[in-house]
Amino acid sequence: MPPTLFLIEANDFVRLGFRSACSRDLVSIVGEASGLQEATQLLTDQSVDVVLLDADFRDEQALAQLQTLIETIGDARVIVWSDQVSSQSYPSLLRMGVAGLVDKTLSFEQLFCAITSVAEGRYFLCHPQHQSLLKPMRPATTVDTDADRIDQLSIREREVLGLLSDGMTNKQIAEKLFLSVKTIETYRARLMKKLDVRCRAGLTTYARQLQQTA
């Protein structure tokens, strides 16, 4: 069953495009609003998994409204989906209770991967250079750094991951490594498990992010 989602977005065309993309049953939109104040009123008696929102948090009033929203929605988790948020604001937003911070350069498939991750109780930041901000949010016993995860990989798995970061398809990787497509699919499944990535698009995104920070 796909996660339920409430969308907060001022732009009518963006909301329309998002609803259209959701026809693939990756997520179930149960409501929407054009702003935080309206959303808080609508969500008072409504249960959802994820609240996806865009707002300009350079406005202190928007921050206050977000805090009120988070206090209202109970167990629902919030993803800020915006190009109007500077990385300097990330720590304060995470402390407020935001579980995901993504920008609008993500494809819909990548965005749905973020929604799924957050709905399952994880945090999601779309830029790897900000991952250290999540350390205070995780249990002290969790071993969850990129270096720890990469150390678990075999030489061949690292090779496949590198080719994924170049945007190659399973077929192209299979031809380059002289392996079958089925074998590459097996490697992808192993990589997703070892790197704790929940969707195929997320694995490619993760690989590219690692390449950028290498």
**Domain spans, the chain:** 4-134, 146-212
Q: Please determine, looking at this structure, whether the domain spanning 146-212 carries the CATH number 1.10.10.10.
A: yes
Mean pLDDT, the chain, as a whole number? 81
How far apart, in whole angstroms, are the C-alpha atoms of residue 35 and residue 153?
44
- Highest mean pLDDT range out of 54-68, 124-138, 196-210? 54-68
- Which residue spans within the chain are E strands per DSSP? 4-8, 28-33, 50-53, 77-81, 98-102, 124-125
Predicted confidence (pLDDT) at residue 118 exceeds the cutoff of 60 = yes
The whole model's pTM is what?
Answer: 0.66
CATH code for residues 4-134 = 3.40.50.2300
Which class for 171: exposed (0-12), middle (13-18), buried (19 or more C-beta within 10 A)? exposed
- pLDDT reading at 158 higher than 50: yes
